[in-house]
């Protein structure tokens, strides 16, 4: 312990503050607190680590937030596999796959945007962010198309026209599966994809704001890489949620079987 404190570069640590902390929050006079570093931090490294950990903590919260829904999914799918299989067959596997691809490309764009922000190429950062926003919009459009189709087929449990298709009802009755579980699949599907969709929208709005900030800070020479990196983490998380949602919602087996109806 004492050896550790003896090896401390004490001078460098105290240096940032000893004299100037008396300025309170308005620094910038003379021997400078880095303008890119908020007053509560000592240096850029501490700030960087803090904002990253902040986002990781938030994502941990998000994992458990979606986790509660995955828990409900797990319980109902385990106890009523047939209802989930039958319900899932009404989803469009190909559109789901395309949407997964769209999100994966957007994740690549964000990864590249983070790279460019670390290198300080503000214009390229904004190019990639714009690409991500467009891809996010495509994702939402495809999702919207799917939801509209679901509505016309009477599969939205929150809508008045919800109706379990006759052949599905027959098969569930035949196998002593409660028909309510068929509806439950759709409740969970819309709740989870809806919540995911809200996260996508929030991401797109955030990227719009980030683009503005990056443009501003490119002109003033201030740092923006933390911002890009943190919002990027959020977006990758949104992608990961979809990576699990896709097989759980669309790829329930057997895809082509399902007792021979259709």
Site for another protein in 165-224 (CB under 8 A): 178-181, 183-184, 187, 191
Q: Which of residues 19-38 bind another protein (CB under 8 A)?
A: 21-22, 24-25
For residue 103, the surrounding DSSP H or E stretch is helix 93-119
CB crowding 84-114: b at 16 or more within 10 Å, else e: bbbbbbbbeeeebeebbebbebbbebbebbb
In angstroms, what is the minimal distance from the CB of 54 to another protein? 5
Q: Which of residues 103-142 bind another protein (CB under 8 A)?
A: 104-105, 107-108, 110-112, 114-115, 118-119
Whether 138 and 100 have beta carbons less than 8 Å apart is answered as no
103/197 Cα distance (integer angstroms)? 12
5/161 Cα distance (integer angstroms)? 71
Closest CA relative to residue 83, chosen from 159, 157, 160: 157
Query: According to CB under 8 A, which one of 36, 42, 90, 223 is a site residue for another protein?
Result: 42
Query: According to CB under 8 A, which one of 5, 30, 152, 219 is a site residue for another protein?
Result: 5
In angstroms, what is the minimal distance from the CB of 2 to another protein? 7
Query: According to CB under 8 A, which one of 189, 207, 224, 246 is a site residue for another protein?
Result: 246
In angstroms, what is the minimal distance from the CB of 87 to another protein? 12
Query: According to CB under 8 A, which one of 28, 32, 35, 101 is a site residue for another protein?
Result: 101
Is residue 51 exposed (0-12), middle (13-18) or buried (19+ Cβ within 10 Å)?
Answer: middle
Is 49 or 153 the residue whose CB approaches another protein more closely? 49
Is 133 or 182 the residue whose CB approaches another protein more closely? 182
Query: According to CB under 8 A, which one of 3, 30, 31, 68 is a site residue for another protein?
Result: 68
In angstroms, what is the minimal distance from the CB of 197 to another protein? 15
Q: What is the CA radius of gyration of the chain?
A: 25
Side-chain-side CA neighbours of 129 within 13 Å: the count stands at 29
């Amino acid at each position: 312990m004492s050896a550790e404190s003896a090896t401390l570069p004490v001078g460098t640590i105290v240096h940032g503050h000893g004299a100037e902390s008396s300025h309170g929050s308005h620094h910038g006079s003379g021997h400078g607190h880095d303008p890119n570093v908020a007053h509560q931090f000592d240096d850029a490294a501490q700030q960087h680590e803090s904002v990253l950990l902040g986002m990781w903590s938030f994502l941990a919260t998000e994992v458990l937030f979606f986790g509660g829904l995955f828990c409900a999914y797990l319980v109902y799918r385990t106890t009523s596999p047939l209802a989930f299989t039958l319900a899932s067959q009404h989803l469009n596997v190909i559109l789901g796959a395309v949407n997964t691809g769209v999100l994966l490309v957007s994740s690549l764009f964000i990864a590249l945007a983070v790279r460019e922000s670390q290198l300080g190429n503000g214009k390229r950062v904004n190019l990639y962010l714009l690409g991500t926003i467009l891809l996010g919009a495509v994702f939402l459009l495809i999702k919207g198309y799917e939801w509209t189709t679901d509505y016309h087929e009477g599969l939205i449990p929150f809508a008045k026209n919800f109706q379990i298709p006759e052949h599905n009802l027959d098969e569930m009755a035949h196998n002593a599966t409660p028909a309510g579980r068929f509806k439950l699949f759709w409740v969970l599907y819309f709740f989870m994809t809806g919540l995911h969709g809200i996260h996508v929208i929030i991401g797109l709005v955030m990227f719009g704001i980030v683009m503005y900030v990056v443009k501003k800070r490119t002109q003033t020479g201030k740092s923006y890489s933390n911002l890009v990196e943190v919002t990027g983490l959020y977006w990758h998380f949104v992608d990961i949620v979809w990576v699990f949602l896709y097989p759980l919602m669309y790829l329930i087996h057997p895809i082509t079987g399902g007792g021979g109806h259709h």
